[in-house]
Amino acid sequence: MSQGSQETMLPEPDTAALLERAAAGDQRAWNTLVDSYSGLVWAVARSHRLGSADAADVFQATWLRLVEHLGAIREPERLGAWLATTARREALAVLRRAGRDLPVGDLITLEPRDTGGDDAPDSDLLRRERDRALWQAVRELPGQCQAVLRLLLLDPPPSYAEVSAALDIPVGSIGPTRARCLDHLRRRLSSDAA
């Protein structure tokens, strides 16, 4: 924090307390849980390359499972991993019920929202073109790379334990996988620019 900034950082809400309050019917506690973890749950659902409607079903089913188990979460500090695992299982169940292979064309776009920024008319066009090329390159990466990068781009980023639970990969392989995927993305972008 810079010397000129006097913002006070509020403490993170205690997950165990939030779960307890939500189980007692506290809507604000429930909303805080949903706000904190919805990006993770949604990213896990989409990492299975489900269509929008199926991903929305997985998202809702995951939160329903949490409602059903609010009082039974044994390790509240691992709620993100629990939600990621639950979302993964729900996504796999949707795929099994549908009796189909994973589609490849329906991927989430992670293009950032326009935040104003530069006033130059051509800067917006250049930024959009750069972003389009980046996300096209991401869509051309292998599926596991897309899933890892999608999860690690969440704000706030999930823990490696949550990513491990979401993608069913060992925690120790996440960093090397991320590095390989980013290298693959850099090479793809370099070859496209040449």
Helix axes 52-69, 79-98, angle to 10 degrees: 130
Show the CA angle centred on residue 70, arms to residues 65 and 71, nearest 5°: 135
Q: How far is CA 181 from CA 48, 65, 121, 137, 178, in A?
A: 17, 32, 33, 11, 5
Instruction: Name the one residue in this structure whose structure tokens are 């620019």.
Output: 193
The tens digit of pLDDT for each residue in 116-130 reads 555 566 777 788 888
Q: What is the pLDDT of residues 3-22, one digit of tens each?
A: 444 444 334 568 899 999 99
pTM flag (> 0.75): no
The span from the CA of 98 to the CA of 116, in Å, is: 42
Residue 91 above 70 pLDDT? Answer: yes
Q: Please name each of the domains of the chain with its CATH number.
A: 15-98 (1.10.1740.10), 121-193 (1.10.10.10)
Q: Which residue has the higher pLDDT, 159 or 87?
A: 87
